[in-house]
Amino acid sequence: MKSKEMQEVLDAMGISYFGNTRTESLLAKKCISCNEDVTAFRSELSAKEYTISGLCQVCQDGVFGGDE
């Protein structure tokens, strides 16, 4: 679990870059970037990344490169 201060920083970044907070996205099970429902991940590592960044699998693939 992240500290309150870290959550505030990540939420402020989310608002700045995407127009919504990471916390709200995680609670709603939505992607912070594309705002689509988050349903499945290719791996446990991708699922963990979602808890860090709030990015769905498709958006993670766009940022980090997909499994091609």
The tens digit of pLDDT for each residue in 52-63 reads 999 999 999 999
Whether residue 50 contacts residue 56, with contact meaning beta carbons closer than 8 Å, is answered with yes
Answer yes or no: is pLDDT of 49 > 60: yes
Mean pLDDT over the full length of the chain: 93
What is the reported pLDDT for 26?
A: 95
Where along the chain do its domains lie? 4-64
Answer yes or no: is pLDDT of 5 > 90: yes
Please state, for a pLDDT cut of 70, what percent of the chain lies above it: 96
What is the reported pLDDT for 2?
A: 77
Whether residue 30 contacts residue 37, with contact meaning beta carbons closer than 8 Å, is answered with yes
Whether residue 42 contacts residue 67, with contact meaning beta carbons closer than 8 Å, is answered with yes
What is the reported pLDDT for 67?
A: 66
Q: Which two tokens stand for residue 31?
A: 């992607």
Beta bridge partners of 30: 37
